[in-house]
A and B are shown apart, each in its own frame.
Chain A
Amino acid sequence: MSAAAIKVEHLVKRYSTATAVDGVSFTVARGTITALLGGNGAGKTTTLSILLGLLLPTSGIVNVLGVDILRHRYRVLSRMNFSSPFVDLPHRLTVRQNLLIYARLYALRNRRERIAALAEDLQIGAFLDRPAGKLSAGQKTRVALAKALLNEPELLLLDEPTASLDPDTGDWVRSFLEAWQTRTRATILMASHNMAEVERMCSDVLMMKTGKIVDRGSPQALIERYGRANLEEVFLHIVRKPDPELEPVS
């Protein structure tokens, strides 16, 4: 078994008018929570999309859970999952119907029991039979997490998991994810703009800027390296600094 949950080498994604990801290489160790940080347009969502197989790169090697995802994505998709508050589950179906369908897509056997267990863990039981489009932002986030955890993924990719949540709900989601990761030893790679969240949850941070990884390390190591008080200041320093002063790291 490969030690790395994710291994990316020389990843490039070019569109006709822009380069979204520019020769990125990185690894994510198994059983860790890693953050992908960067300003808008830094290449985070592009990188996540490539890891999920939703987007084909221009060039590069992408290995997920020991499998070349560009060649054999169907060997690994059942072992990973994804959640984003920006992509709702279909609105017209109830939460239960949505979860049942995704449970079938992941070929789960004990679907109803699994959904019942997740409903209890994520406190979504009260609205399982409500249309997914009629939920609050916090409820939608918990339902999206239930969908993402249906198959007990070894690798969970999250795109801003607590965006648009109030502080209380955001804290609840973070605590849940931490407890789930501790229990399952799964790997989480999350894109986030919430620096406090990253400091709290992540053991490793990949800093992206204009399609490149410009720095990486633990939140504490980055704070010390840049001589700042917190990760937010590090982020601002990197994002605002002119490009030539930051050398890409691999």
Chain B
Amino acid sequence: MSRAGRLDTGGSLGRIWAMLLRYLYLLRSSWPRTVELLYWPTLQMVVWGFMSQFLYVNSNYVFRAFGVLLAAVMLWDVLFRGQLGLSISFLEEMWARNLGHLFVTPLRPYEWVASLLSMSLIRVLIGVVPAALLAIALYHYSIFSLGLPLIAFFAVLLVMGWALGLAICGLILRQGMGAESLAWLAVFTLSPISAVYYPVSILPHWLQHVAWALPSTYVFEGMRELLFHKVFRADYLLTAGALDVMLLALGAWIFFLALRNARERGALLQMGE
């Protein structure tokens, strides 16, 4: 029996690309969604840019390094967009009630996750890079002046966003679409304790312990060290990387456990709006 030219060498990469293509088609099919990706990071950057200009002449903190708030807002967006980018692509499958179709194909769950992570990276780049370029044009501040550490900061925050995204998707798989709002809200819980715009020493002593358990805190403290003292704290980066690995493992564990649970409950065919 002819089998339609099956079994080319694409395998896993081919299936990951197929899913990535699906999310790119979805993004392309709606220009408002693309605009939305650009809108918030750009708006945030514009607001904090003017705030920085004001504080530059009124605050010793910003005077020491003009870009300290702008870099913080853009890096925070890497974490936020990284998590949201993953969660939105996942939710697209829930809204379309497509999980039943996907999981009767040879698509492995880890391949799906790989496509979600790839799409998250694409969404982050679409959102943050134009904002970073606009900051150069409007405020003569380039986040790229952070140099190579910027790549490390970006990677740590992106991976943390993925870990959170996977855990949130796992909770949505377990609880259903009633938990959908977690995709938009959960990451903001971490904003006050990640020391994004202020040093961690501002926090109450007991909360500082919580803050230092987050990879994001090391990034923002490391960013300030770099901007204020021109010192790259490799120890911060290593600790953040180690915490990232643990968080990512935990997020993946929650996600795959929830997926298995959905198979036990028979939820894959019914799940959706």
- Give residues in A with beta carbon < 8 Å to B: 13, 15, 45-46, 49, 52-56, 74, 77-82, 84, 87-93, 97, 100-102, 104-110, 114, 131, 147, 150-152, 154, 184-186
Contact B103 A54 (CB under 8 A): yes
Identify which of residues 53-79 in chain B touch chain A, using a CB-to-CB cut-off of 8 Å.
none
For the A-B complex, the count of residue pairs with Cβ-Cβ distances under 8 Å equals 125
Bound form: Cα–Cα A102–B102 in Å: 8
Q: A107-B8, A109-B5, A186-B1 are in contact. List 19 more A-B contacts (CB 8 A).
A: A13-B266, A49-B269, A54-B100, A55-B263, A56-B264, A89-B98, A90-B98, A93-B26, A101-B21, A104-B18, A105-B107, A106-B4, A106-B105, A108-B4, A108-B5, A108-B6, A147-B101, A152-B2, A154-B1
Answer yes or no: B108 CB below 8 A from chain A CBs. yes
Interface of B (DSSP majority class): loop
Select one of A84, A106, A131 contacting B6, CB under 8 A. Answer: A106
Contact B6 A104 (CB under 8 A): no
Note all chain B residues with C-beta closer than 8 A to A55: 263-264, 266, 268-269
Contact B7 A91 (CB under 8 A): no
What does the 1/0 interface line of B243-272 toward A look like (CB < 8 Å)?
000000000000000001001111011000
17 contacts between A and B (CB under 8 A): A49-B268, A55-B266, A55-B269, A56-B264, A74-B106, A77-B106, A78-B6, A87-B101, A88-B96, A88-B97, A89-B101, A93-B26, A97-B22, A105-B105, A131-B29, A152-B2, A184-B1
- Residue from A46, A77, A106 with most neighbouring chain B CB atoms (10 Å): A106
Q: How far is the CB of B88 from chain A (nearest CB, A)?
A: 13
Q: With A107-B6, A107-B8 as known contacts, state yes or no: A54 contacts B263, CB within 8 Å.
A: yes
Note all chain B residues with C-beta closer than 8 A to A109: 5-6, 8
Note all chain A residues with C-beta closer than 8 A to B30: 92
Contact B14 A107 (CB under 8 A): yes
- Residue from A49, A78, A88, A104 with most neighbouring chain B CB atoms (10 Å): A104
Bound form: Cα–Cα A10–B34 in Å: 52
- Residue from B102, B103, B269 with most neighbouring chain A CB atoms (10 Å): B269
Note all chain A residues with C-beta closer than 8 A to B178: none
Bound form: Cα–Cα A49–B101 in Å: 11
Answer yes or no: B3 CB below 8 A from chain A CBs. yes
Answer yes or no: B148 CB below 8 A from chain A CBs. no
Select one of A46, A53, A91, A100 contacting B104, CB under 8 A. Answer: A53
A81's nearest neighbour on chain B, judged by CB, is B104
Answer yes or no: B204 CB below 8 A from chain A CBs. no
What does the 1/0 interface line of B1-43 toward A look like (CB < 8 Å)?
1111111101100110111011001100110000000000000
- Residue from B11, B21, B106 with most neighbouring chain A CB atoms (10 Å): B106
Q: Residues of B within 8 Å of A, CB-based: how many?
A: 41
Contact A97 B14 (CB under 8 A): no
Contact B18 A56 (CB under 8 A): no
- Residue from B2, B22, B30, B260 with most neighbouring chain A CB atoms (10 Å): B22
Identify which of residues 161-215 in chain B touch chain A, using a CB-to-CB cut-off of 8 Å.
none
Q: With A107-B7, A107-B14, A152-B3 as known contacts, state yes or no: A102 contacts B266, CB within 8 Å.
A: no
Note all chain B residues with C-beta closer than 8 A to A108: 4-6, 8
Contact B106 A87 (CB under 8 A): no
Q: How far is the CB of A56 from chain B (nearest CB, A)?
A: 5
Note all chain B residues with C-beta closer than 8 A to A185: 1
Q: With A90-B96, A150-B4 as known contacts, state yes or no: A101 contacts B18, CB within 8 Å.
A: yes
Contact A104 B14 (CB under 8 A): yes
Contact B100 A87 (CB under 8 A): yes
Bound form: Cα–Cα A81–B29 in Å: 27
Sort A-B residue pairs by CB-CB distance and give the 5 closest, nearest first. Answer: A104-B18, A109-B5, A90-B96, A105-B105, A55-B266
Bound form: Cα–Cα A82–B96 in Å: 17
